[in-house]
Amino acid sequence: MATRDEALAALLSLDPTPVFAESYRNKRLPESLEIYFGPPEEFFLAGDTQSPYTDGRLIPILDDGNFGIVTFLDPESRTLVQKAVAI
């Protein structure tokens, strides 16, 4: 189970544009971008819900603003994986 801090560290390891990291720090983003992406808070609030999606290694880093699609980082291959979630 990845924590919020671990997910942020994984996201930052990708050297993203600052607005993605800012989504972890502020609820309100410029131009209402929070409706398009943000941290997958549901996974951090109920960590046991992560396991069906992480394959024991993926780190959830962003969701689509509705928690319908989550982007994961595979720390071994450094690839991004998107999965539809149903919680």
Question: DSSP letters of the chain?
Answer: ---HHHHHHHHHTT---HHHHHHHH-S--GGGGGGT-B--HHHHHSGGGSHHHHTTT-EEEEE-SSSSEEEEEETTTTEEEEEE---
pLDDT, residue 73, reads 98
Tell me which residues of the chain have a pLDDT lower than 50: none
pLDDT, residue 24, reads 96
pLDDT, residue 27, reads 79
pLDDT, residue 87, reads 62
**Domain limits, the chain:** 4-84
Q: Which amino acid is at 51?
A: S
Q: How far apart are CA 47 and CA 51, in angstroms?
A: 8
